[in-house]
């Protein structure tokens, strides 16, 4: 009975140990996060981008998982909410005749900015996007997943230890007599992969049992089996091919670091572009309000002429009609602006129901002096996406080498040894001096059928040629993109100079009309106002296009660097300036928070 109690106590202790190990899993996850972050830090620093390091700090928001999935009615068939047409309600409102003057007054009056509205500058928009944007977070997690894949491969190449404990009751029927025993089985194993192929492992199987009745025999029994094994390939599977998965995982992390940094540069330009587009829309709204004020002056003048009998009524109506068209366009512009701001808030991860004010701010970079062949050479050398494509060729070449290795005959050296011991676990471990069995030998696998392996070699060679051509194509594409970016800068500068000239012409046209008002018809006056408005709007767009074109040129040629605080890291010779709140990009009156 005392022996039974001892066995039960040992089993209880082992079960407690199991629960302690399970309870330490949360701490182990924290260790994994730290290891992944360290890999990310080292890899990002190795490519010269120490700031672009995702963190695992948001792990507390991740679903922790449950040990057992609870059964529920919707587990196998998720519920669908789709009401029948008769259950839907629609209430039509009365059609009323709108007061046109009241509508015009509502549309054209200055809109007040909410005191609680958050002001967004260009840098603040980028910072918000980095911290909260879904798009940015997905890119971070893609990079993190590559680091976790590397952790798996590194663990596979470390000593792997396993231990299983099995308390069990065993019943044996012998000659009509039933015997029952309480048995405790512990299986402990250690394995280690060898760097140039093969593995070495050790397995210890310990068994302790105690009879629960005296039907067959009584007393206690124990056994200890120790098995050692060694397997080393000499031809097929020997060499660095054994580490292929680990090598590729390390290279993939470098590719991930480059891809993430390339994404950051593209993402920054996208945020810059969206923000500048909002500023341009602000300016267009402001220009449209100025246009309406000018058209109102024309309408008032024509009404006065009609009242005095110096002008026919339809001429005044033409001016009124033009003013109404512009008022309607103003309402559409303001609604488009609100929608654009909501989409911008959604992209940078800001609450769409919170009011914001987009501060009028635009980059003011000087156009670069460009040497086209040199810029293309910079792109070939510095663009991170091209470097990834280039290194994929190396991967494909190594894949050919590995598949050729698999065509070789097999020649493995192996050794096995088993040590048999009979310890007494209940009265202290007392090993006898008997030695177990061992085997040492060679195993040869003749390459009688290697058709599949030979086909795989040919496939790998074809894939290498494909990837090599893709790299050449990527280089040619990069050259075209650099040339396109250069032409885009020239085109934007040309358009900007034209719009400056158009504004000058439109102002001179208005000045001529004001100098001799009786010689101009209402259509001449409204056309002059429209021409000035169009030129000012086109200039605002041209200013934006110049800056985006410069940023795109820097990115296409591999020269764009942006910090985590949303500022451009200027290369030598570049001055980063901003237009803020004055001139053509001054804060327009009545721009609503969105």
Helices (H), 308-383: 313-348, 372-382
φ and ψ of 291, to 5 deg = -65, -40
φ and ψ of 215, to 5 deg = -65, -40
pLDDT along the chain (594 residues), means of 10: 48 50 62 86 85 66 71 78 90 72 66 77 90 91 93 93 88 72 88 94 85 57 84 93 94 95 93 94 90 84 76 76 87 92 94 90 91 95 96 96 94 88 52 68 90 95 96 96 96 93 90 81 84 91 94 94 83 86 46 46
Identify any residues that bridge with 187 across adjacent strands, giving them in sequence order: 164, 205
Does residue 290 contact residue 533 with C-beta atoms inside 8 Å?
A: yes
Contacts of 78 (CB under 8 A, 6+ apart): none
pLDDT at residue 589, as a whole number:
38
- Kindly report the length of the chain: 594
Task: Report the largest interatomic distance among the alpha carbons of the chain, rounded to a whole angstrom.
Answer: 133
- 207: exposed, middle or buried (Cβ count in 10 Å: 0-12, 13-18, 19+): middle
First to last CA, the chain: 81
φ and ψ of 33, to 5 deg = -60, -45
Q: Which domains does the chain have, with CATH numbers?
A: 2-49+159-242+410-449 (no CATH), 100-144+247-393+460-585 (1.20.1600.10)
CB hemisphere CA count around 447 (13 angstroms): 15
pLDDT at residue 100, as a whole number:
61
Chain position carrying tokens 């067959």? 216
pLDDT at residue 584, as a whole number:
44
β-pairing, 356-358 with 437-445?
unpaired
Does residue 584 contact residue 362 with C-beta atoms inside 8 Å?
A: no
Nearest to 549 by CA among 501, 498, 481: 481
CA distance 528 to 537: 14
Q: Which tokens go with 586?
A: 């001054």
Q: How far is the CA of 261 from the CAs of 54, 217, 481, in angstroms?
A: 11, 73, 19
Chain position carrying tokens 């002096």? 369
Q: Which tokens go with 458?
A: 């040919």
Nearest to 118 by CA among 357, 359, 346: 357
Nearest to 52 by CA among 241, 213, 270, 257: 257
Coil vs helix vs strand at 199: strand
Identify any residues that bridge with 177 across adjacent strands, giving them in sequence order: 174
- 302: exposed, middle or buried (Cβ count in 10 Å: 0-12, 13-18, 19+): buried
pLDDT at residue 586, as a whole number:
41
DSSP state at residue 201: E
Give per-residue pLDDT as tens, 385-443: 999 999 999 999 999 999 999 999 999 999 999 876 655 544 555 555 555 688 999 99
CA distance 203 to 206: 10
CB hemisphere CA count around 265 (13 angstroms): 21
pLDDT at residue 582, as a whole number:
47
- Residue 151: its H or E element: helix 134-156
β-pairing, 410-421 with 361-363?
unpaired
CA distance 574 to 36: 36
Please calculate the CA angle 120-125-129 and round it to the nearest 5 degrees. 145
């Amino acid at each position: 009975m005392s022996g039974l109690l001892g066995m039960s106590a040992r089993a209880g202790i082992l079960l407690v140990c199991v629960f302690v190990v399970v309870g330490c899993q949360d701490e182990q996850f924290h260790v994994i996060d730290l290891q992944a972050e360290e890999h990310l830090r080292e890899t990002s620093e190795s490519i010269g981008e120490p700031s672009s390091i995702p963190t695992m700090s948001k792990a507390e928001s991740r679903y922790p998982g449950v040990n057992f999935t609870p059964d529920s009615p919707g587990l196998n068939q998720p519920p669908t909410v789709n009401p029948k047409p008769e259950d839907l309600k629609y209430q039509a409102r009365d059609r009323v005749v709108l007061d046109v003057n009241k509508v015009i007054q509502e549309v054209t009056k200055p809109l007040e900015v909410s005191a609680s509205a958050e002001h967004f500058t260009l840098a603040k928009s980028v910072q918000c996007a980095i911290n909260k944007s879904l798009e940015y977070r997905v890119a971070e997690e893609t990079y993190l997943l590559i680091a976790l894949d590397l952790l798996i491969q590194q663990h596979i190449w470390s000593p792997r230890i396993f231990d299983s404990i099995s308390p069990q009751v065993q019943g044996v029927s012998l000659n009509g007599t039933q015997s029952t025993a309480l048995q405790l089985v512990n299986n402990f194993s250690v394995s280690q992969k060898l760097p140039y192929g093969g593995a070495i492992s050790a397995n210890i199987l310990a068994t302790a049992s105690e009879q629960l009745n005296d039907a067959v025999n009584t007393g206690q029994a124990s056994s200890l089996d120790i098995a050692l094994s060694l397997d080393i390939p000499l031809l097929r599977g020997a060499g660095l091919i054994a580490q292929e998965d680990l090598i590729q995982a390390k290279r993939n992390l470098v590719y991930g670091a480059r891809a993430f940094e390339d994404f950051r540069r593209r993402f920054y330009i996208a945020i810059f572009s969206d923000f500048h587009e909002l500023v341009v829309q602000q300016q267009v709204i402001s220009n449209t309000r100025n246009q309406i004020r000018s058209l109102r002056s024309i309408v008032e003048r024509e009404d006065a002429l009609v009242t005095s009998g110096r002008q026919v009524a339809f001429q005044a109506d033409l001016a009124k009609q033009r003013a109404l068209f512009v008022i309607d366009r103003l309402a559409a512009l303001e609604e488009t602006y609100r929608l654009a701001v909501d989409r911008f808030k959604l992209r940078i991860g800001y609450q769409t129901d919170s009011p914001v004010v987009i501060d009028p701010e635009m980059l003011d970079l000087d156009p670069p002096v460009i040497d086209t062949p040199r810029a293309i050479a910079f792109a070939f050398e510095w663009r991170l996406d091209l470097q990834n494509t280039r290194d994929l060729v190396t991967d494909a070449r190594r894949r050919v080498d590995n598949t050729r290795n698999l065509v070789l005959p097999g020649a493995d050296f192996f050794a096995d040894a088993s040590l048999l011991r009979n310890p007494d676990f209940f009265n202290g471990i007392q090993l006898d001096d008997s030695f177990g069995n061992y085997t040492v030998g060679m195993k040869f696998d003749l390459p009688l059928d290697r058709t599949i392996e030979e086909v795989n070699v040919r496939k790998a060679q074809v894939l290498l040629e494909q990837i090599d051509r893709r790299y050449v194509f990527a280089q040619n594409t990069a050259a075209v993109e650099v040339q396109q970016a250069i032409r885009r800068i020239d085109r934007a500068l040309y358009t900007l100079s034209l719009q400056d000239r158009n504004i000058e012409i439109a102002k001179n046209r208005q000045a001529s009309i004001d100098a001799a008002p009786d010689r101009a018809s209402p259509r001449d006056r409204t056309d002059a106002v429209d021409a000035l408005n169009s030129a000012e709007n086109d200039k605002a767009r041209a200013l934006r296009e110049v800056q985006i074109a410069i940023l795109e040129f820097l990115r296409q040629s591999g020269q764009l660097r942006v910090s985590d605080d949303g500022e451009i890291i200027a290369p030598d010779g570049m001055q980063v300036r901003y237009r803020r709140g004055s001139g053509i990009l001054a804060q327009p009156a009545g721009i609503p928070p969105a």
